[in-house]
Chain A
Protein backbone atom coordinates (compact mmCIF):
# COMPACT_ATOMS: atom_id res chain seq x y z
CA UNK A 1 0.00 0.00 0.00
CA UNK A 2 2.87 2.34 0.78
CA UNK A 3 4.52 1.72 -2.58
CA UNK A 4 1.16 2.29 -4.28
CA UNK A 5 1.12 5.93 -3.24
CA UNK A 6 4.86 6.55 -3.42
CA UNK A 7 4.89 5.23 -6.99
CA UNK A 8 2.03 7.58 -7.83
CA UNK A 9 3.82 10.61 -6.44
CA UNK A 10 7.26 9.86 -7.86
CA UNK A 11 5.64 9.11 -11.22
CA UNK A 12 3.64 12.33 -11.20
CA UNK A 13 6.71 14.32 -10.19
CA UNK A 14 8.79 12.86 -13.02
CA UNK A 15 5.99 13.68 -15.47
CA UNK A 16 6.02 17.31 -14.32
CA UNK A 17 9.81 17.43 -14.71
CA UNK A 18 9.41 16.08 -18.24
CA UNK A 19 6.91 18.81 -19.09
CA UNK A 20 9.37 21.38 -17.77
CA UNK A 21 12.08 20.10 -20.11
CA UNK A 22 9.92 20.35 -23.21
CA UNK A 23 8.40 23.75 -22.39
CA UNK A 24 11.94 25.07 -21.98
CA UNK A 25 12.86 23.59 -25.36
CA UNK A 26 9.76 25.19 -26.89
CA UNK A 27 11.08 28.66 -26.05
CA UNK A 28 14.71 27.93 -26.98
CA UNK A 29 15.79 29.35 -30.35
CA UNK A 30 15.76 26.75 -33.10
CA UNK A 31 19.07 25.29 -34.24
CA UNK A 32 18.11 24.22 -37.77
CA UNK A 33 20.09 25.88 -40.57
CA UNK A 34 17.78 26.42 -43.57
CA UNK A 35 20.57 25.29 -45.85
CA UNK A 36 20.15 26.66 -49.35
CA UNK A 37 19.02 30.02 -47.98
CA UNK A 38 21.39 30.34 -45.04
CA UNK A 39 24.80 28.75 -44.80
CA UNK A 40 26.98 27.90 -41.89
CA UNK A 41 30.47 29.33 -41.67
CA UNK A 42 32.97 26.61 -42.60
CA UNK A 43 35.95 26.27 -40.29
CA UNK A 44 39.26 27.30 -41.93
CA UNK A 45 40.59 23.83 -41.07
CA UNK A 46 38.09 22.25 -43.46
CA UNK A 47 39.93 20.02 -45.99
CA UNK A 48 38.22 20.55 -49.31
CA UNK A 49 39.97 20.10 -52.66
CA UNK A 50 43.35 21.79 -53.00
CA UNK A 51 43.70 25.36 -54.19
CA UNK A 52 46.57 27.68 -55.01
CA UNK A 53 47.08 30.25 -52.27
CA UNK A 54 46.91 33.91 -53.24
CA UNK A 55 49.58 35.81 -51.33
CA UNK A 56 48.88 39.36 -50.32
CA UNK A 57 52.44 40.67 -50.86
CA UNK A 58 52.74 39.54 -54.51
CA UNK A 59 49.06 39.48 -55.39
CA UNK A 60 49.43 36.08 -57.02
CA UNK A 61 50.39 32.47 -56.28
CA UNK A 62 53.91 31.31 -55.46
CA UNK A 63 54.06 28.19 -57.62
CA UNK A 64 57.51 27.68 -59.11
CA UNK A 65 56.37 24.85 -61.42
CA UNK A 66 58.66 22.32 -59.77
CA UNK A 67 56.13 19.54 -60.37
CA UNK A 68 56.60 17.91 -56.95
CA UNK A 69 52.89 17.76 -56.36
CA UNK A 70 52.30 16.19 -59.76
CA UNK A 71 54.93 13.52 -59.10
CA UNK A 72 53.84 12.88 -55.49
CA UNK A 73 50.13 12.55 -56.26
CA UNK A 74 49.15 8.89 -55.72
CA UNK A 75 46.04 9.30 -57.85
CA UNK A 76 47.69 11.13 -60.71
CA UNK A 77 45.13 13.88 -60.69
CA UNK A 78 47.34 17.00 -60.85
CA UNK A 79 48.77 18.38 -64.08
CA UNK A 80 51.35 21.21 -63.84
CA UNK A 81 53.10 22.85 -66.73
CA UNK A 82 55.12 26.04 -67.21
CA UNK A 83 57.17 27.94 -69.71
CA UNK A 84 60.29 30.09 -69.69
CA UNK A 85 59.47 33.78 -69.98
CA UNK A 86 61.70 36.84 -70.52
CA UNK A 87 62.53 38.69 -67.32
CA UNK A 88 60.97 36.06 -65.07
CA UNK A 89 63.24 34.00 -62.87
CA UNK A 90 62.59 30.27 -63.24
CA UNK A 91 59.55 28.89 -65.04
CA UNK A 92 56.19 30.66 -65.19
CA UNK A 93 53.09 28.56 -64.44
CA UNK A 94 50.80 28.11 -67.43
CA UNK A 95 48.70 25.02 -66.50
CA UNK A 96 47.61 23.79 -63.07
CA UNK A 97 44.60 21.44 -63.24
CA UNK A 98 43.12 19.12 -60.67
CA UNK A 99 40.95 16.14 -61.62
CA UNK A 100 38.89 16.04 -58.43
CA UNK A 101 36.99 12.92 -59.50
CA UNK A 102 40.15 10.91 -58.84
CA UNK A 103 41.55 12.87 -55.88
CA UNK A 104 41.58 10.99 -52.59
CA UNK A 105 42.22 14.14 -50.49
CA UNK A 106 45.39 12.61 -49.05
CA UNK A 107 47.11 15.99 -48.93
CA UNK A 108 50.52 14.77 -50.15
CA UNK A 109 50.66 17.69 -52.62
CA UNK A 110 50.13 20.24 -49.86
CA UNK A 111 52.79 18.57 -47.70
CA UNK A 112 55.40 18.41 -50.41
CA UNK A 113 55.05 21.90 -51.86
CA UNK A 114 58.38 23.72 -51.22
CA UNK A 115 56.84 27.23 -51.38
CA UNK A 116 53.64 26.46 -49.46
CA UNK A 117 51.73 27.52 -52.57
CA UNK A 118 48.99 24.90 -52.08
CA UNK A 119 46.31 24.75 -49.42
CA UNK A 120 42.91 23.13 -48.86
CA UNK A 121 39.92 25.14 -50.02
CA UNK A 122 36.61 25.54 -48.15
CA UNK A 123 34.49 24.27 -51.05
CA UNK A 124 31.80 21.85 -49.85
CA UNK A 125 28.93 22.33 -52.31
CA UNK A 126 30.13 19.65 -54.70
CA UNK A 127 27.34 18.81 -57.08
CA UNK A 128 27.55 18.77 -60.87
CA UNK A 129 25.95 17.37 -63.99
CA UNK A 130 29.08 15.92 -65.65
CA UNK A 131 32.42 14.65 -64.49
CA UNK A 132 34.08 17.53 -66.35
CA UNK A 133 32.52 19.85 -63.76
CA UNK A 134 35.13 18.53 -61.34
CA UNK A 135 38.18 19.12 -63.52
CA UNK A 136 39.28 22.31 -61.82
CA UNK A 137 41.60 24.82 -63.40
CA UNK A 138 43.32 26.03 -60.25
CA UNK A 139 45.31 28.73 -62.04
CA UNK A 140 42.10 30.30 -63.31
CA UNK A 141 40.57 30.00 -59.84
CA UNK A 142 43.46 31.81 -58.15
CA UNK A 143 43.32 34.62 -60.73
CA UNK A 144 39.57 35.03 -60.31
CA UNK A 145 39.71 34.98 -56.53
CA UNK A 146 39.54 38.26 -54.65
Chain B
Protein backbone atom coordinates (compact mmCIF):
# COMPACT_ATOMS: atom_id res chain seq x y z
CA UNK B 1 0.00 0.00 0.00
CA UNK B 2 2.85 2.37 0.79
CA UNK B 3 4.31 1.72 -2.63
CA UNK B 4 0.97 2.65 -4.11
CA UNK B 5 0.93 5.97 -2.26
CA UNK B 6 4.48 6.72 -3.29
CA UNK B 7 3.74 6.20 -6.99
CA UNK B 8 0.29 7.81 -6.85
CA UNK B 9 1.45 11.37 -7.76
CA UNK B 10 3.37 10.02 -10.74
CA UNK B 11 0.38 7.95 -11.75
CA UNK B 12 -1.94 10.95 -11.63
CA UNK B 13 0.60 12.99 -13.56
CA UNK B 14 0.76 10.30 -16.25
CA UNK B 15 -3.02 10.15 -16.63
CA UNK B 16 -3.32 13.93 -16.82
CA UNK B 17 -0.51 14.07 -19.40
CA UNK B 18 -2.14 11.37 -21.53
CA UNK B 19 -5.51 13.12 -21.44
CA UNK B 20 -3.97 16.48 -22.30
CA UNK B 21 -1.98 14.87 -25.12
CA UNK B 22 -5.13 13.35 -26.60
CA UNK B 23 -6.92 16.69 -26.26
CA UNK B 24 -4.09 18.45 -28.08
CA UNK B 25 -4.01 15.88 -30.89
CA UNK B 26 -7.75 16.01 -31.57
CA UNK B 27 -8.17 19.72 -30.91
CA UNK B 28 -5.23 20.51 -33.14
CA UNK B 29 -6.68 18.36 -35.92
CA UNK B 30 -10.01 20.21 -35.66
CA UNK B 31 -8.38 23.64 -35.68
CA UNK B 32 -5.94 22.82 -38.44
CA UNK B 33 -8.49 21.06 -40.63
CA UNK B 34 -10.75 24.08 -40.41
CA UNK B 35 -7.93 26.60 -40.84
CA UNK B 36 -6.50 24.75 -43.80
CA UNK B 37 -9.79 24.64 -45.67
CA UNK B 38 -10.71 28.21 -44.77
CA UNK B 39 -7.31 29.63 -45.75
CA UNK B 40 -7.21 27.54 -48.93
CA UNK B 41 -10.59 29.00 -49.79
CA UNK B 42 -9.64 32.60 -49.12
CA UNK B 43 -6.36 32.30 -51.02
CA UNK B 44 -8.43 31.14 -54.01
CA UNK B 45 -11.00 33.95 -53.39
CA UNK B 46 -13.56 31.38 -52.25
CA UNK B 47 -15.29 31.44 -48.83
CA UNK B 48 -14.35 27.86 -47.85
CA UNK B 49 -16.74 25.88 -45.59
CA UNK B 50 -19.81 28.04 -44.93
CA UNK B 51 -22.79 25.78 -44.33
CA UNK B 52 -22.45 24.00 -40.95
CA UNK B 53 -22.61 26.52 -38.14
CA UNK B 54 -21.35 30.10 -38.23
CA UNK B 55 -18.96 30.26 -41.21
CA UNK B 56 -18.76 26.47 -41.19
CA UNK B 57 -17.06 26.09 -37.80
CA UNK B 58 -18.71 22.72 -37.14
CA UNK B 59 -17.71 21.34 -40.55
CA UNK B 60 -14.87 19.24 -39.13
CA UNK B 61 -17.08 17.77 -36.41
CA UNK B 62 -19.61 16.70 -39.02
CA UNK B 63 -16.86 15.32 -41.22
CA UNK B 64 -15.50 13.35 -38.29
CA UNK B 65 -18.93 11.83 -37.63
CA UNK B 66 -19.25 10.93 -41.29
CA UNK B 67 -15.84 9.26 -41.32
CA UNK B 68 -16.73 7.24 -38.21
CA UNK B 69 -19.85 5.98 -39.92
CA UNK B 70 -18.06 4.67 -42.97
CA UNK B 71 -17.27 1.03 -43.63
CA UNK B 72 -13.64 -0.07 -43.47
CA UNK B 73 -12.98 -1.77 -46.77
CA UNK B 74 -9.97 -4.06 -47.06
CA UNK B 75 -8.92 -4.60 -50.67
CA UNK B 76 -8.79 -8.07 -52.15
CA UNK B 77 -5.44 -9.86 -51.69
CA UNK B 78 -4.27 -7.12 -49.32
CA UNK B 79 -2.17 -8.07 -46.32
CA UNK B 80 -5.03 -7.70 -43.85
CA UNK B 81 -3.25 -7.50 -40.47
CA UNK B 82 -0.63 -5.07 -41.76
CA UNK B 83 -3.29 -3.07 -43.58
CA UNK B 84 -5.20 -2.57 -40.34
CA UNK B 85 -2.02 -1.95 -38.34
CA UNK B 86 -0.65 0.89 -40.47
CA UNK B 87 -3.12 3.66 -39.49
CA UNK B 88 -2.75 2.77 -35.82
CA UNK B 89 1.01 2.92 -36.18
CA UNK B 90 0.73 6.32 -37.85
CA UNK B 91 -1.50 7.65 -35.09
CA UNK B 92 -0.36 6.08 -31.81
CA UNK B 93 3.23 7.42 -31.56
CA UNK B 94 2.22 11.07 -31.94
CA UNK B 95 1.15 11.25 -28.27
CA UNK B 96 4.58 10.59 -26.81
CA UNK B 97 6.50 13.60 -28.20
CA UNK B 98 3.81 15.88 -26.75
CA UNK B 99 4.86 14.74 -23.28
CA UNK B 100 8.35 16.23 -23.51
CA UNK B 101 7.45 19.53 -25.21
CA UNK B 102 7.78 22.46 -22.76
CA UNK B 103 4.62 24.47 -23.41
CA UNK B 104 5.65 26.92 -20.71
CA UNK B 105 8.07 26.93 -17.76
CA UNK B 106 5.77 24.73 -15.68
CA UNK B 107 3.54 23.06 -18.27
CA UNK B 108 5.53 20.08 -19.44
CA UNK B 109 4.86 16.36 -19.10
CA UNK B 110 8.34 15.11 -18.38
CA UNK B 111 11.61 16.98 -18.79
CA UNK B 112 13.77 14.19 -20.23
CA UNK B 113 17.50 14.63 -20.77
CA UNK B 114 17.02 13.10 -24.22
CA UNK B 115 13.85 15.02 -25.10
CA UNK B 116 14.88 15.80 -28.67
CA UNK B 117 15.92 12.21 -29.37
CA UNK B 118 12.53 10.95 -28.17
CA UNK B 119 10.75 13.31 -30.53
CA UNK B 120 12.92 12.47 -33.53
CA UNK B 121 12.76 8.73 -32.91
CA UNK B 122 8.99 8.66 -32.59
CA UNK B 123 8.46 11.01 -35.51
CA UNK B 124 10.25 8.49 -37.71
CA UNK B 125 7.75 5.75 -36.83
CA UNK B 126 5.20 7.64 -38.91
CA UNK B 127 7.33 6.80 -41.93
CA UNK B 128 7.24 3.11 -41.09
CA UNK B 129 3.45 3.34 -40.93
CA UNK B 130 3.35 4.91 -44.38
CA UNK B 131 5.58 2.16 -45.76
CA UNK B 132 3.46 -0.59 -44.18
CA UNK B 133 0.24 1.01 -45.40
CA UNK B 134 1.53 1.42 -48.94
CA UNK B 135 3.02 -2.07 -49.03
CA UNK B 136 0.03 -3.92 -47.66
CA UNK B 137 -2.61 -2.20 -49.81
CA UNK B 138 -1.90 -4.39 -52.86
CA UNK B 139 -2.08 -1.31 -55.06
CA UNK B 140 0.66 0.03 -57.28
CA UNK B 141 -0.14 3.66 -56.47
CA UNK B 142 0.07 3.01 -52.75
CA UNK B 143 3.38 1.23 -53.19
CA UNK B 144 4.83 4.08 -55.24
CA UNK B 145 3.63 6.58 -52.66
CA UNK B 146 5.27 4.59 -49.90
CA UNK B 147 8.55 4.33 -51.82
CA UNK B 148 8.58 8.03 -52.40
CA UNK B 149 7.79 8.77 -48.78
CA UNK B 150 10.70 6.63 -47.62
CA UNK B 151 13.31 8.05 -49.98
CA UNK B 152 12.13 11.60 -49.37
CA UNK B 153 12.01 11.34 -45.60
CA UNK B 154 15.36 9.59 -45.35
CA UNK B 155 16.93 12.33 -47.45
CA UNK B 156 15.32 15.25 -45.63
CA UNK B 157 15.95 13.90 -42.16
CA UNK B 158 19.66 14.58 -42.64
CA UNK B 159 19.50 18.39 -43.05
CA UNK B 160 16.83 18.54 -40.35
CA UNK B 161 19.04 16.70 -37.87
CA UNK B 162 22.14 18.66 -38.87
CA UNK B 163 20.42 22.00 -38.39
CA UNK B 164 19.11 20.91 -34.98
CA UNK B 165 22.55 19.57 -34.13
CA UNK B 166 24.12 22.99 -34.63
CA UNK B 167 21.78 24.26 -31.91
CA UNK B 168 22.63 21.30 -29.70
CA UNK B 169 26.32 22.19 -29.98
CA UNK B 170 25.54 25.67 -28.70
CA UNK B 171 23.35 24.56 -25.81
CA UNK B 172 25.11 21.33 -24.83
CA UNK B 173 21.85 19.63 -23.90
CA UNK B 174 19.15 17.50 -25.53
CA UNK B 175 16.60 18.58 -22.95
CA UNK B 176 14.05 20.88 -24.55
CA UNK B 177 13.74 22.92 -21.38
CA UNK B 178 17.49 23.45 -21.43
CA UNK B 179 17.34 24.63 -25.03
CA UNK B 180 14.62 27.15 -24.16
CA UNK B 181 16.60 28.34 -21.15
CA UNK B 182 19.71 28.80 -23.30
CA UNK B 183 18.07 31.41 -25.48
CA UNK B 184 16.95 33.85 -22.81
CA UNK B 185 18.68 36.98 -24.20
CA UNK B 186 18.38 36.30 -27.96
CA UNK B 187 16.42 33.65 -29.80
CA UNK B 188 18.44 31.22 -31.87
CA UNK B 189 16.70 32.35 -35.06
CA UNK B 190 18.90 35.46 -34.85
CA UNK B 191 22.12 33.51 -34.33
CA UNK B 192 21.27 30.61 -36.64
CA UNK B 193 19.00 31.95 -39.41
CA UNK B 194 20.35 29.47 -41.97
CA UNK B 195 19.67 26.51 -39.70
CA UNK B 196 16.12 27.79 -39.19
CA UNK B 197 15.55 28.08 -42.94
CA UNK B 198 16.93 24.61 -43.58
CA UNK B 199 14.82 23.18 -40.79
CA UNK B 200 11.72 24.90 -42.18
CA UNK B 201 12.25 23.40 -45.64
CA UNK B 202 13.01 20.00 -44.18
CA UNK B 203 9.85 19.85 -42.04
CA UNK B 204 7.69 20.54 -45.09
CA UNK B 205 9.19 17.44 -46.67
CA UNK B 206 9.09 15.47 -43.42
CA UNK B 207 5.37 16.06 -42.95
CA UNK B 208 4.72 15.21 -46.64
CA UNK B 209 3.02 18.50 -47.37
CA UNK B 210 2.92 20.49 -50.60
CA UNK B 211 5.14 21.41 -52.41
CA UNK B 212 6.82 18.17 -51.28
CA UNK B 213 3.67 16.03 -51.08
CA UNK B 214 4.92 13.47 -53.57
CA UNK B 215 3.89 10.46 -51.43
CA UNK B 216 0.26 11.47 -51.94
CA UNK B 217 0.55 13.31 -55.27
CA UNK B 218 -3.08 13.07 -56.33
CA UNK B 219 -2.53 13.87 -59.99
CA UNK B 220 -0.07 10.99 -60.39
CA UNK B 221 -0.82 8.51 -57.62
CA UNK B 222 -4.56 8.95 -56.88
CA UNK B 223 -3.87 9.49 -53.17
CA UNK B 224 -0.52 7.76 -52.72
CA UNK B 225 -0.11 5.53 -49.71
CA UNK B 226 -3.66 6.06 -48.42
CA UNK B 227 -5.42 5.32 -51.71
CA UNK B 228 -7.11 2.21 -50.32
CA UNK B 229 -7.98 3.62 -46.91
CA UNK B 230 -11.48 4.85 -46.09
CA UNK B 231 -13.35 6.12 -43.07
CA UNK B 232 -11.58 6.13 -39.73
CA UNK B 233 -8.45 4.39 -40.96
CA UNK B 234 -7.95 7.23 -43.42
CA UNK B 235 -8.67 9.87 -40.83
CA UNK B 236 -6.14 8.33 -38.45
CA UNK B 237 -3.49 9.05 -41.09
CA UNK B 238 -4.74 12.64 -41.34
CA UNK B 239 -4.83 13.04 -37.55
CA UNK B 240 -1.29 11.70 -37.40
CA UNK B 241 -0.17 14.11 -40.11
CA UNK B 242 -1.61 17.15 -38.34
CA UNK B 243 -0.20 16.03 -35.01
CA UNK B 244 3.20 15.60 -36.63
CA UNK B 245 2.92 19.11 -38.02
CA UNK B 246 2.19 20.34 -34.51
CA UNK B 247 5.19 18.48 -33.14
CA UNK B 248 7.70 19.68 -35.73
CA UNK B 249 6.43 23.25 -35.38
CA UNK B 250 6.76 22.95 -31.60
CA UNK B 251 10.34 21.77 -32.03
CA UNK B 252 11.00 24.76 -34.31
CA UNK B 253 9.49 27.04 -31.67
CA UNK B 254 11.60 25.50 -28.90
CA UNK B 255 14.83 25.54 -30.89
CA UNK B 256 14.61 28.80 -32.80
CA UNK B 257 11.80 31.00 -31.50
CA UNK B 258 12.55 30.92 -27.81
CA UNK B 259 9.83 28.49 -26.70
CA UNK B 260 7.39 30.19 -24.37
CA UNK B 261 9.43 33.36 -23.89
CA UNK B 262 7.77 36.61 -24.83
CA UNK B 263 6.23 39.71 -23.30
CA UNK B 264 5.56 38.76 -19.67
CA UNK B 265 1.97 38.07 -18.69
CA UNK B 266 0.54 37.46 -15.21
CA UNK B 267 1.42 33.96 -13.91
CA UNK B 268 4.01 33.71 -16.65
CA UNK B 269 5.16 30.24 -15.61
CA UNK B 270 1.81 28.99 -16.87
CA UNK B 271 0.58 31.69 -19.24
CA UNK B 272 3.72 31.37 -21.35
CA UNK B 273 1.76 28.68 -23.17
CA UNK B 274 -0.11 31.50 -24.94
CA UNK B 275 3.10 32.72 -26.56
CA UNK B 276 4.16 29.16 -27.28
CA UNK B 277 0.92 28.26 -29.06
CA UNK B 278 0.94 31.59 -30.89
CA UNK B 279 4.38 30.85 -32.33
CA UNK B 280 3.45 27.27 -33.19
CA UNK B 281 0.31 28.32 -35.02
CA UNK B 282 2.16 31.10 -36.84
CA UNK B 283 4.52 28.45 -38.19
CA UNK B 284 1.54 26.24 -39.05
CA UNK B 285 -0.03 29.18 -40.87
CA UNK B 286 3.19 29.51 -42.83
CA UNK B 287 3.05 25.82 -43.77
CA UNK B 288 -0.54 26.20 -44.98
CA UNK B 289 0.40 29.37 -46.82
CA UNK B 290 3.21 27.72 -48.79
CA UNK B 291 1.02 24.69 -49.46
CA UNK B 292 -1.47 26.84 -51.33
CA UNK B 293 1.23 28.87 -53.08
CA UNK B 294 3.67 26.46 -54.68
CA UNK B 295 3.10 23.73 -57.24
CA UNK B 296 4.39 20.25 -56.48
CA UNK B 297 8.06 19.64 -57.29
CA UNK B 298 9.19 16.82 -59.53
CA UNK B 299 10.82 13.94 -57.72
CA UNK B 300 14.33 14.49 -59.10
CA UNK B 301 14.09 18.20 -58.25
CA UNK B 302 13.09 17.28 -54.73
CA UNK B 303 16.05 14.96 -54.23
CA UNK B 304 18.49 17.32 -55.99
CA UNK B 305 17.45 20.18 -53.77
CA UNK B 306 18.11 18.13 -50.67
CA UNK B 307 21.42 16.57 -51.67
CA UNK B 308 22.87 19.53 -53.56
CA UNK B 309 21.69 22.44 -51.45
CA UNK B 310 20.28 21.58 -48.04
CA UNK B 311 22.83 18.99 -46.90
CA UNK B 312 25.97 20.93 -47.98
CA UNK B 313 24.61 24.13 -46.49
CA UNK B 314 23.66 22.49 -43.22
CA UNK B 315 27.07 20.81 -43.03
CA UNK B 316 28.84 24.12 -43.57
CA UNK B 317 26.58 25.74 -41.00
CA UNK B 318 27.36 22.96 -38.55
CA UNK B 319 31.12 23.27 -39.05
CA UNK B 320 31.02 27.04 -38.64
CA UNK B 321 28.95 26.65 -35.49
CA UNK B 322 31.33 24.11 -34.01
CA UNK B 323 34.37 26.30 -34.75
CA UNK B 324 32.68 29.37 -33.27
CA UNK B 325 31.61 27.48 -30.14
CA UNK B 326 35.18 26.25 -29.70
CA UNK B 327 36.70 29.69 -30.22
CA UNK B 328 34.30 31.80 -28.16
Asked whether, in the complex, the Cβ of B46 is within 8 Å of the Cβ of A30, the reply is: yes
Whether, in the assembled complex, B42 has its beta carbon less than 8 Å from a beta carbon of chain A, the answer is yes
Asked whether, in the complex, the Cβ of A22 is within 8 Å of the Cβ of B292, the reply is: yes
Asked whether, in the complex, the Cβ of B293 is within 8 Å of the Cβ of A22, the reply is: yes
Chain A binding surface SS class? helix
Contact with B along A29-60 (1 / 0, CB 8 A): 11110100000000000000000000000000
Whether, in the assembled complex, B289 has its beta carbon less than 8 Å from a beta carbon of chain A, the answer is yes
CB contact between B43 and one of A8, A25, A31, A34 (< 8 Å): that residue: A25
Asked whether, in the complex, the Cβ of A22 is within 8 Å of the Cβ of B50, the reply is: no
* A-contacting residues, B261-310, CB 8 Å: 289-290, 292-294, 308-309
Which residues from chain B contact A8 at a C-beta distance below 8 Å?
309
Q: How far is the CB of A12 from chain B (nearest CB, A)?
A: 9
Nearest A residue to B39, CB-CB: A26
Asked whether, in the complex, the Cβ of B43 is within 8 Å of the Cβ of A22, the reply is: yes
Asked whether, in the complex, the Cβ of B293 is within 8 Å of the Cβ of A30, the reply is: no
Asked whether, in the complex, the Cβ of B45 is within 8 Å of the Cβ of A30, the reply is: yes
Q: In the assembly, what is the distance between CA of A21 and CA of B289, in Å?
A: 11
* A-contacting residues, B34-64, CB 8 Å: 39, 41-47, 50
Q: In the assembly, what is the distance between CA of A34 and CA of B51, in Å?
A: 10
Q: In the assembly, what is the distance between CA of A21 and CA of B41, in Å?
A: 15
Asked whether, in the complex, the Cβ of A28 is within 8 Å of the Cβ of B47, the reply is: no
Asked whether, in the complex, the Cβ of A32 is within 8 Å of the Cβ of B46, the reply is: yes
Which residues from chain B contact A21 at a C-beta distance below 8 Å?
293
Cβ contacts A to B, 25 pairs, < 8 Å: A8-B309, A18-B293, A19-B289, A19-B290, A22-B289, A22-B293, A23-B289, A25-B42, A25-B44, A25-B45, A26-B39, A26-B42, A26-B43, A28-B45, A29-B45, A30-B41, A30-B42, A30-B45, A30-B46, A30-B47, A31-B45, A31-B46, A32-B46, A34-B47, A34-B50
